[in-house]
């Protein structure tokens, strides 16, 4: 599915099921229904990079993760209903999925390390460095290790019917084990998995989207930017609207013509890092933003909850940099 977390399948009996990849579980069994009709029904207009591949050659659903492509997909934590998450906190889907898959291994490793330290033997339980690792790894501090043993609810895998891990990139050759039975060393796992889980380190893919922001045709609003802007692909349109509000100061009625607009004290910036941290600027949620700013693309008013990536994929539909327009409208 377009959200890159759900997969719709149809088995040999004709039963259609919806899987949640980040938990390795069936979340809904639709029975014997039309696969194509159900696919259309569940369609979401969202754009997230493909971070895994899959097949059913083994008679079951197999998900493949390869570096660095698997680390290309991010979403906001609030979209996963993470309790207490800040509005701009981003979650890397592959990292959290690996954390969920290897949680039992991480806890076993942490317990073994603590036991060895209590016995005063720093050599016992030491992992053998993987020969395919391109670099040596620093020691892991307590905070990082504790993070490795914490899993978000959306990435918790079943212990009753746990999935199996098959790895082909370890130093000891390929192997297959259930996630609850992992008793391997770091050297038995691909180095990038270990780095991701124990060091919170993984390849950073380019997650930026370049775009231009101009006043809409016929709008009295001045141009607030100089040149191309850049922001995370997952940035919501309401953050772009907030940015416009931050740059424009309304001190006269909306029908007062061009004189109704006064440029803000701060100059427009070429990089919109401010967009991804609007909560730190004290901006209000988009529903309460005054004045009411509409963002358009190809003369279509955009939903405040759309991301830049979604707009580029479904509205802009061109290889060139995205062009957005803004206008002020009367509050309803």
Domain ranges of the chain: 1-47, 94-198, 208-329
Query: Tell me, what's the pLDDT at 147?
Result: 52
Q: What is the pLDDT of residues 271-327, one digit of tens each?
A: 454 445 444 444 444 444 455 889 999 999 999 999 999 999 999 999 999 999 999
- Helix or strand run (H / E) with residue 311: helix 308-311
Mean pLDDT (whole number) for 194-213 = 89
Mean pLDDT (whole number) for 96-116 = 84
Q: 176 pairs with which residues across the strands?
A: 166
Question: Average model confidence (pLDDT) for the chain?
Answer: 79
* Higher per-residue confidence, 79 vs 127: 79
Query: Tell me, what's the pLDDT at 291?
Result: 57
CA–CA separation, 326 and 287 (whole Å): 16
Query: Tell me, what's the pLDDT at 151?
Result: 81
**208-329 CATH choice from 2.40.170.20, 3.10.20.90, 3.40.50.150, 3.10.180.10:** 3.10.20.90
* Higher per-residue confidence, 78 vs 252: 78
CA–CA separation, 272 and 254 (whole Å): 26
Mean pLDDT (whole number) for 44-61 = 90
Tell me: pLDDT of 145 over 90: no
pLDDT band for position 231 (50/70/90)? very high
Mean pLDDT (whole number) for 115-144 = 47
Q: Which residues contact 234 (CB under 8 A, 6 or more apart)?
A: 48, 74, 75, 76, 90, 207, 307, 308, 309
Query: Tell me, what's the pLDDT at 187?
Result: 84
CA–CA separation, 41 and 112 (whole Å): 49
Contact 50, 59 (CB under 8 A): no
pTM, two decimal places: 0.77
Tell me: pLDDT of 176 over 80: yes
pLDDT band for position 167 (50/70/90)? confident
Q: Of 221, 229, 331, whose CA–CA distance to 286 is shortest?
A: 331
Query: Tell me, what's the pLDDT at 331?
Result: 66
Q: Above pLDDT 70, what percent of the chain? A: 74
CA–CA separation, 248 and 85 (whole Å): 29
CA dihedral 80, 81, 86, 89 (to 10 degrees): -10
Tell me: pLDDT of 253 over 60: no
**Vertex 31: Cα angle to 29 and 35 (nearest 5):** 95
Residues in the chain, how many?
A: 332
Cβ-count burial 256-284 (b if 16+ within 10 Å, e if not): eeeebbeeeeeebeeebebbbebeeeebe
Tell me: pLDDT of 24 over 50: yes
Query: Tell me, what's the pLDDT at 144?
Result: 43
Cβ-count burial 73-95 (b if 16+ within 10 Å, e if not): bbbbbeebeeeebebbeebbbbb
CA–CA separation, 332 and 330 (whole Å): 6
Please state, as a whole number, how many other Cβ atoms lie within 10 Å of the Cβ of residue 23. 18
- Helix or strand run (H / E) with residue 35: helix 35-41
Across 83-234, where does the E strand assignment appear?
90-92, 164-167, 175-178, 208-215, 229-232
Q: Of 220, 236, 226, 231, whose CA–CA distance to 291 is shortest?
A: 220
Please state, as a whole number, how many other Cβ atoms lie within 10 Å of the Cβ of residue 51. 21
Tell me: pLDDT of 160 over 60: yes
- Helix or strand run (H / E) with residue 329: strand 322-329
**Six-digit token string for 331:** 């509050």
Q: What are phi and psi of 297, to 5 degrees?
A: -140, 130
């Amino acid at each position: 599915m377009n959200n890159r977390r759900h997969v719709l399948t149809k088995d040999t009996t004709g039963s259609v099921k919806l899987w949640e990849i980040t938990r390795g579980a069936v979340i809904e069994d639709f029975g014997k229904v039309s696969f194509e009709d159900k696919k259309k029904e569940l369609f979401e207009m969202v754009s997230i990079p493909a971070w895994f591949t899959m097949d059913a050659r083994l008679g079951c659903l197999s998900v493949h993760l390869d570096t660095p492509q698997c680390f290309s997909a991010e979403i906001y934590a609030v979209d996963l209903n993470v309790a207490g998450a800040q509005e701009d906190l981003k979650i890397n889907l592959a990292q959290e999925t690996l954390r969920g898959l290897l949680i039992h291994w991480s806890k076993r490793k942490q317990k073994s390390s603590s036991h060895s330290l209590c016995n005063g033997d720093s050599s016992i339980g030491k992992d053998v460095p993987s020969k395919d690792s391109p670099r040596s790894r620093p020691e892991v501090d307590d905070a990082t290790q504790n993070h490795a043993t914490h899993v978000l609810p959306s990435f918790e895998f079943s212990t009753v019917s746990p999935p199996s891990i098959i790895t082909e990139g370890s130093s000891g050759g390929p192997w297959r084990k259930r996630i609850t039975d992992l008793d391997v060393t770091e050297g038995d796992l691909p180095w990038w998995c270990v780095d991701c889980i124990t060091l919170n380190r993984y390849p950073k893919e380019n997650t930026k989207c370049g775009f231009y922001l101009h006043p809409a045709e016929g709008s009295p609003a001045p141009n607030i930017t100089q040149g191309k802007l850049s922001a995370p692909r997952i940035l919501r349109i309401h953050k772009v609207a907030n940015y416009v509000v931050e740059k424009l100061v309304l001190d006269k009625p909306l029908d007062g013509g061009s004189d109704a607009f006064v440029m803000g004290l701060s100059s427009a910036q070429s990089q919109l890092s401010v967009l991804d941290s609007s909560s730190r600027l004290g901006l209000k949620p988009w529903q309460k933003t005054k004045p009411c700013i509409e963002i358009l693309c190809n003369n279509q008013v955009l939903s405040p909850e759309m991301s830049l990536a979604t707009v580029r994929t479904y509205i802009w539909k061109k290889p060139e940099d995205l062009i957005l327009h803004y206008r002020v409208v009367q509050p309803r």
